[in-house]
């Protein structure tokens, strides 16, 4: 299947898919990635191959999906040449594309000669061997696994110390192929992760290879068949091979006699393929060669897949390091794992909200200069964040001298209120430790009050399309702020909704019901004195 973006920010992009399920959306791991279209959902639509043909269904997108101008409300048949409209983009579908859709177009490969070889292509000559002797001797099936060929597998599996491990592995593959198989030309194609197309990454010719040598000539017929059928292909004489009759013209154009084509498959995906051929002799390859190259391709596919996964992990780690100062831990994990949508809106959750506020902060600001105040706050916030995270909460935001934390969202947690109250008590203990040190250093100190409330909130991206913040809103947030204001220095106050979940584990003292702004009735509140000792059995 070939999908071409004909309209929208990604217009001109083409994607090739060989799997039975194709995803469209803004997520990087979607088969058709429309990352530049902000009106497309992260996972917008799904195409599936069934026994009766292909179908399309909307994946719960925000703006819907159109098939040939009609809304997609359920799984419907996907016809040849269909146009899919999603967001501001249009995608044309070719269910049975021409052969060139499986790799870079023929003229694109020819352009290598005119533009200079891409930096991603590894190419060099291998020996000055007389090609006319290639067909004189062949290795029979019984001699498939010679000591040299077994050593080739070990060599390919050996560690790589190169700064560019992928190119080093490709070079090793070509070394072992040309040392153990009597090919005149060899090509190693890999899938471009961005476009889904196959492109030559390693090219080798036996004999001399002068500067500015000819173009990369690859039979799309062989490539198409190997990828589509996901199996190795051996042709002893392409000109007389009835199974390749449809591709005889291109094979003759490139002067191919014998050819061996093996796909690189890892994790059920075709990552690329190895193509070996000869122009001077027929019957150059045997079934033993095919078996050896197939096993070598399997090892190569594992190495390539491992290198790519390592690169993705390194990228994710770098991204995490760049974002972790701005995005709370748990939402960041969901974002990197593709489970968090970067669109306005959110999800309704049952959450416990905690807010801690510095007492007499205005007086403190008058006594300290900006640098001293900032240093003091940074020490305080750092200590509080460590306590909050250690109890399973996420730091939602800092509002002046206040810190707001959320428990039970975005990941549901039945023990959220217990963890939140325990966290509040430990925050007071951590602050006591800071205050003791500050006093010893002759620095000013302060105290805090903490309030907690529980209820239904909306947790998600709040703001505008240009500037948004992953935050929480709802009545429990406002109630928590009111309770925090009511708390005395170094005191924890909880709402009745929190008390109902923690009373058996903590010592509490009921306070007089208090009128709270926005509430029609006085609120019941409770002061948390400490945690109860575990009952002895």
Can you say how many angstroms the Cα of residue 357 is from the centroid of all Cα atoms in its chain? 38
pLDDT score recorded for residue 241: 57
Give mean pLDDT in consecutive 10-residue pieces for the chain, a chain of 537 residues: 87 80 86 86 91 91 90 92 92 73 36 29 34 41 75 83 81 92 91 83 73 58 83 76 52 73 89 89 86 92 89 73 52 53 67 95 86 91 93 89 91 92 97 95 94 91 68 91 94 96 95 84 93 75
The CATH number of the domain covering residues in 2-94:
2.60.200.20
377/434 Cα distance (integer angstroms): 11
pLDDT score recorded for residue 337: 55
Domain spans, the chain? 2-94, 121-127+147-207+218-310, 342-531
pLDDT score recorded for residue 15: 81
Look up residue 165 and give its two tokens: 């491990």
pLDDT score recorded for residue 180: 92
Residues 6+ apart with CB under 8 A from 210: none
Contact yes or no for 429/492 (Cβ under 8 A): no
- Cα–Cα distances (Å) from 475 to 480, 481, 519, 521, 526, in that order, read 8, 10, 10, 15, 18
Architecture of domain 121-127+147-207+218-310: 2-Layer Sandwich (3.30)
- Cα–Cα distances (Å) from 502 to 333, 352, 407, 496, 530, in that order, read 29, 12, 14, 10, 11
HSE-up of residue 7 (Cα within 13 Å, Cβ side)? 9
Helix (H, G, I), strand (E, B) or coil at 386: helix
Q: How many CB atoms lie within 10 A of CB 369?
A: 9
The values of phi and psi at residue 66, to 5°, are: -115, 135
Contact yes or no for 210/261 (Cβ under 8 A): no
The kind and range of the H/E element at 16 are strand 14-16
Vertex 132: Cα angle to 131 and 133 (nearest 5): 90
Helix (H, G, I), strand (E, B) or coil at 133: helix
469/396 Cα distance (integer angstroms): 9
The kind and range of the H/E element at 288 are helix 287-323
The yes/no answer on whether domain 342-531 falls in CATH 3.30.70.1230 is: yes
CA 244, 245, 247, 249 dihedral sign is: positive
């Amino acid at each position: 299947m070939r999908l071409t973006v004909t309209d929208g920010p990604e217009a001109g992009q083409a994607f090739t898919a060989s799997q039975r399920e194709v995803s469209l959306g803004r997520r990087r791991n979607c088969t058709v990635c429309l990352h530049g279209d902000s009106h497309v959902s992260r996972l917008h639509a799904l195409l599936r191959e069934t026994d009766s043909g292909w179908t399309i269904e909307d994946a719960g997108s925000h703006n819907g999906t159109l098939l040939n101008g009609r809304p997609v409300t359920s799984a419907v048949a996907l016809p040849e040449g269909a146009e899919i409209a999603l967001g501001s983009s249009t995608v044309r579908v070719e269910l049975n594309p021409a052969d060139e859709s499986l790799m870079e177009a023929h003229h694109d490969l020819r352009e290598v000669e005119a533009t200079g070889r891409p930096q991603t292509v590894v190419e060099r000559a291998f020996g000055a061997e007389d090609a006319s002797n290639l067909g004189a001797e062949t290795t029979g099936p019984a001699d498939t696994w010679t000591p040299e060929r077994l050593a080739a597998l070990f060599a390919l599996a050996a560690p790589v110390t190169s700064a560019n491990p992928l190119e080093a592995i490709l070079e090793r593959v070509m070394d072992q192929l040309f040392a153990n198989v009597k090919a005149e030309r060899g090509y190693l194609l890999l899938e471009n992760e961005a476009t889904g197309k196959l492109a030559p990454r390693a090219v080798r010719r036996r004999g001399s290879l002068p500067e500015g040598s000819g173009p990369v000539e690859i039979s799309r017929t062989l490539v198409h068949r190997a990828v589509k059928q996901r199996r190795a292909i051996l042709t002893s004489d392409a000109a007389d091979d009835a199974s390749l009759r449809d591709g005889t013209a291109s094979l003759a154009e490139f002067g191919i006699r014998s050819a061996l084509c093996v796909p690189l498959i890892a994790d059920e995906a075709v990552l690329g393929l190895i193509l070996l051929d000869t122009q001077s002799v027929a019957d150059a390859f045997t079934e033993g060669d095919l078996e050896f190259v197939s096993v070598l391709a399997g090892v190569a596919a594992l190495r390539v897949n491992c290198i790519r996964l390592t690169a993705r992990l390194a990228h994710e780690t770098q991204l995490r390091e760049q974002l972790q100062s701005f995005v709370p831990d748990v939402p960041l994990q969901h974002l990197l794992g593709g489970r968090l949508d970067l669109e306005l809106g959110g999800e309704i959750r049952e959450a416990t909200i905690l807010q801690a506020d510095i007492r007499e902060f205005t007086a403190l600001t008058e006594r300290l200069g900006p640098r001293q105040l900032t240093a003091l706050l940074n020490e305080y916030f750092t200590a509080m964040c460590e306590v909050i995270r250690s109890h399973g909460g996420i730091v939602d935001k800092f509002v002046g001298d206040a810190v707001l934390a959320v428990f039970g969202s975005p990941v549901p947690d039945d023990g959220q209120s217990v963890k939140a109250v325990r966290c509040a008590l430990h925050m007071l203990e951590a602050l006591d430790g800071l205050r003791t040190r500050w006093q010893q250093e002759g620095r000013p100190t302060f105290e805090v009050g903490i309030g907690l409330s529980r209820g239904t909130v909306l947790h998600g991206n709040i703001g505008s399309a240009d500037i948004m913040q992953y935050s929480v809103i709802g009545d429990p947030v406002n109630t928590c702020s009111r309770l925090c204001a009511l708390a005395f220095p170094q005191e924890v106050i909880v709402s009745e909704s929190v008390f109902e979940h923690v009373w058996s584990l903590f010592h509490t003292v009921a306070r007089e019901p208090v009128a709270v702004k926005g509430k029609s009735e006085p609120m019941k509140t409770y002061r948390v004195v400490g945690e109860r000792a575990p009952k002895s059995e």
